[in-house]
Structure 1
């Protein structure tokens, strides 16, 4: 009996090994340089999955591993991925040959409501939805929405002032991930869903708690994701869903009630739901073309929630960290704020003033270079194509369904593109220097028609909060502030092991009276 059991185990292990390595021949067949993969994991380190090894450093190591290769290969678990590091090829994929690389790589094995969101739609459906949503994110629309953002910034600053009074001290240490996530939660609630929430006072409000649950990449979430990747049929049999339906229903009811209330009471509010309502009405009144269903509506709301809740808060965390670690940059930015306050002459900050602050834009741009919230983007090849270099020589022949990575973080840290990439130097983006930045080397919002549609809104949030924070406080390193940020970020989350700590010191003079 024991012999039979041992034999079965050996056979099963052999089959598992054969299955787990069955895709590990593609790069060798195509002549693409790559590191030798390990069964099941490919080129992913086990420590990355377990959160004990830095995934960011791993990306940077991959980039320098094949310095002369324009394209190299890496196996993400069992999936072969072509990583493109040549700038001309990146531009071809993102812009010139866009029709061949229109889609992100998304599995068709399981569908969720999120499959209808702009980021996961494909081909003609994506193009139709992009055309529907593009007018929603113009500068004019953002300007009309700014009052909502500004109000959330003021509440966020008031929270710090209250904490300082309660502590009775001259400074306060703040953990920025929680702080910034509460701020972005309130912004999304107000500017996207039309709900007024103060997450600094109502710390356990459901909107915030669900956001934390849905964006937290913990061990359970990783295991669940791996099971959906490797055993989608088993998940279907067990009726396990990728997203928690109770949380989805919460948003479904939220959106439905907001829309019905506005229609019934003829309420117009300058937020994302209102803009989507207008887009839905105009689209569905047209005689032909894609209809904008209620599920389409909900999917875009969820996309705004996911993108805004975590991505913007991550950007703010790194930006405040860099400001506290680079006091000379902070001092120069504060001088620009003083000049802006003088021009405003007692009036509240407005969208146009914010968007015309050149040094603030340089600081935010450099933060996005050094710490892009999305460290790489992907494309799926939808038809066979030969990628050629500037001499019209074939670099690699791609086949339909091949997966491509564009290594955003690695490009931003490549000294061939940015001198002294480890340093925080906003002057890279000055009027005198920004034209020297190589096309396709700086991609914090992606590239081409598939770039982030909400970049204007994200920048508006980030710039506005930083303006308000520096108006009232000086940011300095706290005792628990990371000394090696890159080394302290482990696993796949963009959060250091001891989180983001910054000391806030009240400024001696209110800028409004200076």
Structure 2
């Protein structure tokens, strides 16, 4: 009896897989769209699903298959998606006709993450974005730099004690981003290099989607069959409970004891009271070429009163983004500087000159160092933490024809969009020799040549990354301290050229990012 049931279930799954496979093909054929057939059940993501390559390569394979198309069909498991290749159409979706594409795809059922700004939809997203925007102004970000300097000094001290050893930059940098987030958001002082068993660092490690078969399977199911996601939590419940507890207890303790500290928890407490507002003299400073514009998002009615749980979700989101996404870019920047000594030499000369004149890294200093900005931008171009940005059609929309002589394509409510980010960043049409690390692409002589909507590491339009300024600061401050004090050198385990390791969406080098730090003193 059991065998018969199992055979029935297996037969049903196989039949459904082939039904979806041909149905998705017919969707694209009926709209005269190009697509790669892929495989039943997996669509175009079979290699990354089985850990054969990184998901970027699956996306890029489809992107490069049809160079004359503005957009193509892409299948993620059972889900047909529209992969946008043309920067002008990315502009339509993310800026000009944004009201048709306000929401992200929902892919998680975790209560805490679902309450975050990233997963919010419609008017709730607009209201939360409006609430949080004042937390990322110039004056607020300026207050974060001393915390980043302090944590960077811990990194420098550790590297002095381990000089000459081969260092896994991945672990080193994730300790840095963990400790920066602990300090600037949660008001906690930790040193994860000295105490890697601290609860905060261990909780952060548990959030990183790994490359085990179990985690890949869970990720595949969550992304391709959202209805089953409640059985496969995206984040461990004990970890989300840990972060919720920290935020709620800290807010209650500060409220009871009238404590104030210039960190994100304080800003969330002000948001709960409705006192977190943009000051007339304040502004959203441009701290580099990658800085995103902040749209004038206003609530449609009265300002919402947010619950403590919802505010805790925003702190959790900032941790998740700041810990892993920021770390991945910094790690790859360190790796690239090790295998590109000429670029590192130019950066050192600028950093040394600034240090001799000013003595310490400041918020204004971040804005002054132009080659540091070039290095940061090139790392963000080549190794953007957002391989794609996703949108959902919330109002019927007609896409321009996918090619000259083609016909427009009708999108319906619920249709999913993938805006290509990394594939555009690696497209020879926009960046000659894209595989090379060339910071000069972003100097004053060249950056005006960069076509709009071909450089978008933090997304574009009103739904871009709200914390882009924080991420840029976090990257630049640490690079400044490391390059000022050490020469980053290749070692026997350093991969060159850099290739992405198989996995889900984490940006990591094959074999890790092993380097050696040699003191300049």
TM above 0.5: yes
1:459 offset after TM fit, Å? 0.6
Decide whether the 8 Å contact of 1:51 with 1:492 is kept in 2: no
Decide whether the 8 Å contact of 1:71 with 1:83 is kept in 2: yes
1:103 aligns with 2:103: yes
Decide whether the 8 Å contact of 1:48 with 1:54 is kept in 2: yes
Decide whether the 8 Å contact of 1:362 with 1:427 is kept in 2: yes
Instruction: Summarize the Cα distance change of 1:300–1:77 in structure 2 as closer, same or farther, 3 Å threshold.
Output: same
Deviations 1:4-48 (A, max 9, x none): 789857853653445543444211121111011321011112x31
Instruction: Name the SS of the counterpart of 1:450 in structure 2.
Output: coil
Aligned to 2:60: 60
For 2:106 and 2:465, locate their aligned partners in 1 and report how far apart those are by CA, in whole Å: 17
Aligned to 2:351: 337
Any residues of structure 2 matched to 1:484-503 within 5 Å, and which?
A: 484-486=497-499, 488-489=501-502, 492-503=505-516
Decide whether the 8 Å contact of 1:93 with 1:100 is kept in 2: yes
What is the RMSD computed on CA atoms of the aligned residues?
2.6
Deviations 1:82-118 (A, max 9, x none): 011111111011100000011111158x452211111
Aligned to 2:166: 173
Instruction: Summarize the Cα distance change of 1:4–1:446 in structure 2 as closer, same or farther, 3 Å threshold.
Output: closer
Q: TM-score, normalized by length of structure 1?
A: 0.90
More off after superposition, 88-97 vs 9-18:
9-18
More off after superposition, 478-487 vs 404-413:
478-487
Decide whether the 8 Å contact of 1:490 with 1:497 is kept in 2: no
The partner residue of 1:301 within 290, 295, 315 is 315
1:172 offset after TM fit, Å? 2.3
Decide whether the 8 Å contact of 2:385 with 2:506 is kept in 1: no
Aligned to 1:114: 113
1:29 aligns with 2:30: yes
Aligned to 1:511: none
Aligned to 1:276: 268
1:385 offset after TM fit, Å? 1.0
The partner residue of 1:327 within 325, 331, 341 is 341
1:382 offset after TM fit, Å? 0.8
For 1:68 and 1:233, locate their aligned partners in 2 and report how far apart those are by CA, in whole Å: 36
Instruction: Summarize the Cα distance change of 1:65–1:243 in structure 2 as closer, same or farther, 3 Å threshold.
Output: same
Deviations 1:223-276 (A, max 9, x none): 23344456666675xx66443222222112211121122122222111111111
The partner residue of 2:237 within 242, 245, 252 is 245
Decide whether the 8 Å contact of 1:80 with 1:403 is kept in 2: yes
Any residues of structure 2 matched to 1:396-407 within 5 Å, and which?
A: 396-407=409-420
1:59 offset after TM fit, Å? 2.6
Structure 1 unaligned blocks of 5 or more: 165-170, 509-514
For 1:506 and 1:10, locate their aligned partners in 2 and report how far apart those are by CA, in whole Å: 60
Aligned to 1:351: 363
Instruction: Summarize the Cα distance change of 1:70–1:267 in structure 2 as closer, same or farther, 3 Å threshold.
Output: same
Deviations 1:463-497 (A, max 9, x none): 00000001110011111001232265566432223
Aligned to 1:167: none
Aligned to 1:187: 180
1:417 aligns with 2:430: yes
Decide whether the 8 Å contact of 1:172 with 1:505 is kept in 2: no
For 2:45 and 2:85, locate their aligned partners in 1 and report how far apart those are by CA, in whole Å: 19
Instruction: Name the SS of the counterpart of 1:312 in structure 2.
Output: helix
Decide whether the 8 Å contact of 1:34 with 1:72 is kept in 2: yes
For 2:224 and 2:363, locate their aligned partners in 1 and report how far apart those are by CA, in whole Å: 47
Instruction: Summarize the Cα distance change of 1:65–1:241 in structure 2 as closer, same or farther, 3 Å threshold.
Output: closer
For 1:502 and 1:354, locate their aligned partners in 2 and report how far apart those are by CA, in whole Å: 25
Q: TM-score, normalized by length of structure 2?
A: 0.89
Decide whether the 8 Å contact of 2:101 with 2:392 is kept in 1: yes
Deviations 1:372-430 (A, max 9, x none): 11111111111111122699985422111110111101101111111111111111111
